[in-house]
Chains A and B, each alone.
Chain A
Amino acid sequence: MRKALYLVILLMFSCNNDNKVKGDEGLEKEINAGELKVYDFKGFEKYLSTTTDKIYVVNFWATWCAPCVKELPFLEELNKNYANQNVEVILVSLDFPNAYETKLKPFIKNKKLQSKVVALNDTDSNTWIPKVSEDWSGAIPATLIFNKEKRMFYEQSFTYAELENEIKQFLK
């Protein structure tokens, strides 16, 4: 019961904070201006660990992946509602490079994505998939949640409630 009460307070608190999360809008502009960051795995690897107190939710997706697109709003919501608790969502697009201009950038703009979006373009997936997680077969969507102490990997789709449940294990 106390947990539920805490949750309600938490939700109210994060709702109140809606208007304050203005910082993210700068990012949207950056992407709209064509500054989508594209990495090979070596360059991208820095997004897979941290020495700070932050909790990262790294989601692998693509505009052509229907279940990925379906769960994006939940990741966006999580990013917004838990920003004040040191949670950051990073959306890693696996779109093909020839779709960056035609599909990915328009998608980011139209959906007004506020989470950080980066593109990973590294064709040697057999080498880098196990470095993200030994448990990953390569199917997307796939999500990695980690802080400096622990990491969890999920080859599955999420609902908002499921994401919150996972995040709470890190917030304890």
Chain B
Amino acid sequence: MHKFKTFFSVIAIVITSSIMAQSGYKVGDIATDFKLENVDGTMVSLSDYNQAKGYIVIFTCNTCPFSVAYEDRIVALNNMFEAQGYPVIAIMPNNPTASPGDSMEAMKARSKAKGFTFPYVMDKNQEIYPKYGASKTPHVYVLQKTKKGNQVKYIGAIDDNYQDAEAANQKYVEDAVNALLEGKPVLETHTRAIGCTIKV
């Protein structure tokens, strides 16, 4: 009997975790705002950006090699699009107890070392990433400001080559934001990439 109980609880866990993995925003949904602590000690919200036309929200961290591989490209995205109304906001979703390399101190150090020109905030209560449905780092959500709220226009990877920016054939985020800026539909709205699970 005990065996059966264990078996069913395992099944329950598997089902729950797969539902959790599936939940989160789809393209077209309205994304929630947040108020999260930045590396400079201030609190950052989407609503702080009066002039923004939208946002490039990137769940990323210090410790994931894929995130590290994309750091320079994240800086480049902000340099390219902040002035055009699409600033980058980087959110670190890991629990620093489970991933000490992602502590606020470590985040500050990384932001300084890499010269981040955008907020690098911590999802301290780990409440925001599940709402978005981020399952890994890096994981990008391009949002467009609409009358209804901040609408999700793209979910996925930055480009199609994590090893070499120069060799990337498809620059998904760049293409998505450019399309939005030109008032055109985003052609590739959802892509996948290998990434590190979010540490809870």
Contact = CB atoms under 8 A, between A and B. Distances in A.
Interface in A132-156: 135-141, 154-156
Contacts of B157: 125-126, 138
B49 interface: no
Given A3-B3, A124-B160, A161-B6, A137 B14 contact: no
Nearest to A94: B194
Given A129-B192, A138-B194, A140-B196, A165 B7 contact: yes
B47 interface: no
B135 A126 contact: no
Contact of B163 (A96, A130, A136, A137): A96
A125 to B, nearest CB: 5
B17 interface: yes
A138 B194 CA distance: 4
A125 B193 contact: yes
A165 B164 CA distance: 40
Given A123-B164, A124-B160, A129 B10 contact: no
Band of interface residues on A: 20 to 34
Interface in B44-91: 64-65, 69
Residue among A3, A125, A162 with most chain B CB within 10 A? A125
Contacts of B199: 66-67
A89 to B, nearest CB: 19
Given A96-B65, A162-B10, A140 B160 contact: no
Residue among B99, B191, B198, B199 with most chain A CB within 10 A? B191
A4 interface: yes
Contacts of A138: 135-136, 157, 192-195
B3 A125 contact: no
A125 B192 contact: yes
A35 B196 CA distance: 27
Interface string B162-200: 111001011010000000000000000001111111110
B119 interface: no
Interface of B: 3, 6-7, 10, 14, 17-18, 21, 64-65, 69, 99, 135-136, 156-157, 160-164, 167, 169-170, 172, 191-199
Interface of A: 3-4, 60, 62, 64-67, 94, 96-97, 123-127, 129-130, 135-141, 154-157, 161-162, 165
- Give the 10 A-B residue pairs with the shortest CB-CB distance, closest first: A139-B136, A126-B191, A137-B135, A129-B192, A123-B161, A139-B197, A138-B192, A139-B135, A125-B193, A138-B194
Given A66-B99, A138-B136, 14 more contacts: A67-B197, A123-B160, A123-B164, A126-B191, A129-B192, A136-B192, A137-B135, A138-B194, A139-B195, A139-B196, A140-B196, A140-B197, A162-B14, A165-B7
